[in-house]
Amino acid sequence: MQIEAGARRVHSQSPTAQAWRRFRRHPLALAGLVLFGVVLLATVAAPLIARYDYAALNLPDKFQSPSFAHFLGTDRVGRDIWSRTLYGGRVSLAVGFAAASISTVIGVILGSISGYYRGMADQIIMRFTDVVMTFPRVVIILTAAIYLGQSIASVIFLIGIFSWPGITRLVRGQVLSLREQQFVLASRSLGSGNRRIIVSHVLPNVVAPLLASVTFDVNGAILLEAGLSFLGVGIPLPTPSWGNMLESARSLDVLQDGPWIWVPPAVMILLTVLSINFIGDGLRDAIDPRHQQG
């Protein structure tokens, strides 16, 4: 009787409540959520907890190891590493979420058109997607960045417009299966237009599997920004990002004698990427239909 009552309670819950219940059973996902929350809160509260201006030069205190005055030390021109790490997190996270948003919008639009209309539209979009996926993304972005110039907006734009193929393929597969479902056929028989069916009936059912993929796209954008900034074509100085802070490790003296300069941004990238990966794994497990059947 207790088992039957528990089963009735589970089935009476909304899909969102059931997904949250499964998400809470994923310890690494909960740990990732807490860790990412701490990182996000620290970056948002940077003006309150940063003790110095991230761009302020202080040559008498240059290349100082961590101390009470400077929690994480200073770089080669005396800038406070603690302040630069906090404000750099703002930039890196903003680039990650903004670029992922651009790639998601492009991928959802193209994937929806390709999966719903099929035929010639599907062939053109998927062949174009295949072409984009064959080119080395980093090389294309490096080349384009030289012509567009260095700025936060250009980095977000370039990462976003070259990161949509995976989302497109995912959405296309979901739409292909949904377009033949009974509720879509019923809506079509009642006279609903294709645009209304896609927006009101198809896309809401794509959101759940899309969420997990978007989290991994955010990770990819953060890592790609770090790589571009490390190569000198990402976020321009003096604006800090975790990537251009790592660029200082290209100098042998900093790499060997000043680990406090490059270790903090490296650790923050590691913790952020791990936490988002754990959240993405938890979301994928929570919304997987096989778990719902179980």
* Per-residue model confidence (pLDDT) at position 288: 62
Q: How far apart are CA 12 and CA 239, in angstroms?
A: 51
Task: Tokens 């309150």: give the residue.
Answer: 48
User: 81-117 and 152-161 are packed helices; what angle lies between their axes, rounded to 10 degrees?
Assistant: 30
User: pLDDT confidence of 293, banded at 50, 70, 90?
Assistant: very low
Q: Which residues pair with 74 in a beta bridge?
A: 80
User: Which pTM was predicted?
Assistant: 0.84
* Per-residue model confidence (pLDDT) at position 43: 92
pLDDT by residue (tens digit) across 199-239? 877 888 888 778 878 888 898 899 898 888 888 788 888 88
pLDDT by residue (tens digit) across 263-283? 999 999 999 999 998 888 888
Q: How far apart are CA 97 and CA 276, in angstroms?
A: 12
User: pLDDT confidence of 85, banded at 50, 70, 90?
Assistant: very high
Cα separations in angstroms, 100 against 13, 45, 141, 191: 31, 23, 15, 35
CATH of domain 39-293: 1.10.3720.10
Closest CA to 111 of 178, 157, 196: 178
Contacts of 104 (CB under 8 A, 6+ apart): 164, 167, 210, 214, 217
Q: Which residues pair with 96 in a beta bridge?
A: none
Closest CA to 43 of 196, 282, 226, 264: 264
Section 237-246 average pLDDT: 86
* Per-residue model confidence (pLDDT) at position 292: 47
pLDDT by residue (tens digit) across 103-135? 999 999 999 999 888 888 889 999 999 888 888
pLDDT by residue (tens digit) across 44-83? 998 898 888 888 888 888 888 888 888 888 888 889 999 9
